[in-house]
Homo-oligomer: A and B are copies of this chain.
């Protein structure tokens, strides 16, 4: 590699129009009248989309491997066959009322990186791979992030196989039916580094008018169900002082869920999304209220601090009001910091190309979270319109789509060597 070559490589840019066209073409598979995509995991539409992506990869000279959970690895050889691949990827299954970009962008940005390297005849030291992870969304089969979770050995293969949809059809049967059960044992596939480009699915970049989000990590999550028990009574004949109004106590705690997030800045998040009032009748004082609590923060220690905070508040409130408050954990996901070297590769690429960028955290889960357990990992966010995702109106601009893929290209080149 000559200095001339290196400087040539630094000038490399992906073909934004080609990438956009591929995104739009893939989005036709499962397109909804409102402009979104409904392409549930392991459906016929998922198979069509997989087939198309594989054909495009083969057209780009890549070789294809599929593992037992249906993860697809599309490989462009490197100069050095001893090196593990520098991998990128994401998923192409969608929510029932999903958009064109969530997941699909990460896969097709990876494909565009390869096409660009092909166009320019650039050979990398390490191989380049583009992964398509099975069932990231979890809409049809739970758990979410199934393919990468099995790959990272966080989810046992047999458990994933046994997962059923609402019609009691299993993952294993559907994988076989669509022809995507491979031979490779999940996880027995070396990975040198992993990058994932994704729409932000939140409003931060748009709010800060930044093109690139350099993701420093993924927030930890704690989910709970909280029940406040009072005494059901008629709204008319029961004076205020004799009430045991479960909703009045519950709403104070709901306020505290948000206050707790504000007490743990800058990344603390507290959400009550689901509320069930019993008996839910206009003239009956609620006897019982159950609601969800979703706490998130950037480290497990901060998540634990928020857990302790909200439990203490609930305890005080229960003592004050005399109403029992029960907080039951539902599930938890640990926080995951990304690799400093990958973060630096992304930051450096964005800086050199002059894209405005900022460090961000990911509040939602991604396949990259599981990959971070196996290899140095980083993520690149681009803005999406109004922060909206998991919605047929999900949108991103061609400029941002191009910028993210350019950053992906150079971060991968930095890591793969050329």
Cβ–Cβ contact B254 & A271, under 8 A: no
User: Is B363 within 8 A of A238, CB to CB?
Assistant: yes
Q: Give, as a whole number of angstroms, the nearest-CB distance from A237 to chain B.
A: 3
Determine if B275 and A280 form an interchain contact, defined as CB atoms under 8 angstroms apart. yes
Residue interface mask A205-230, B partner, CB < 8 A = 1? 00100000000000101010000000
Known: A234-B364, A252-B255. A261 touches B280 (CB 8 A): no
Verify A233–B387 contact, CB threshold 8 A: yes
Complex interface: stretch among A11-19, A47-55, A82-90, A196-204: A196-204
Whether B270 lies near A363 (C-beta < 8 A) is no
Do A281 and B285 touch (CB < 8 A)?
no
Min C-beta distance of A143 to chain B, whole Å: 14
- Contact call B281/A236, Cβ cutoff below 8 A: no
Contact between A200 and B237, CB atoms less than 8 A apart: yes
Q: Does A137 contact B (CB under 8 A)?
A: no
Cβ contacts under 8 Å, A272 to chain B: 247-248, 286
Cα(A25)–Cα(B360), bound, Å: 73
Is A122 positioned at the interface, with any CB of B under 8 Å from its CB?
no
**A63 at interface, CB cutoff 8 A:** no
By beta carbon, the residue of chain B nearest A240 is B261
Q: Tell me the residues in window 223-270 of chain A with beta carbons closer than 8 Å to chain B beta carbons.
A: 223, 233-240, 242, 245, 247-248, 251-252, 254-255, 258, 261-262, 266-270
CB closest chain-B residue, reference A391 = B232
Q: Are A235 and B280 in contact (CB under 8 A)?
A: no
B-chain residues with CB within 8 Å of residue A280 when the two chains form the complex: 273-275
Q: Is A374 an interface residue (CB 8 A)?
A: no
B237, B255, B273: the one contacting A281 at CB < 8 Å is B273
A283 within 8 A of B: yes
**Cross-chain contact B273 with A283 (CB below 8 angstroms):** yes
Q: List 30 A-B contacts (CB under 8 A).
A: A201-B234, A201-B236, A202-B238, A203-B233, A203-B238, A204-B242, A219-B236, A221-B236, A234-B364, A234-B389, A235-B273, A235-B294, A236-B364, A236-B365, A237-B364, A239-B363, A240-B262, A245-B271, A247-B272, A247-B273, A247-B275, A252-B255, A255-B255, A271-B285, A272-B286, A273-B277, A273-B282, A273-B283, A274-B282, A283-B294
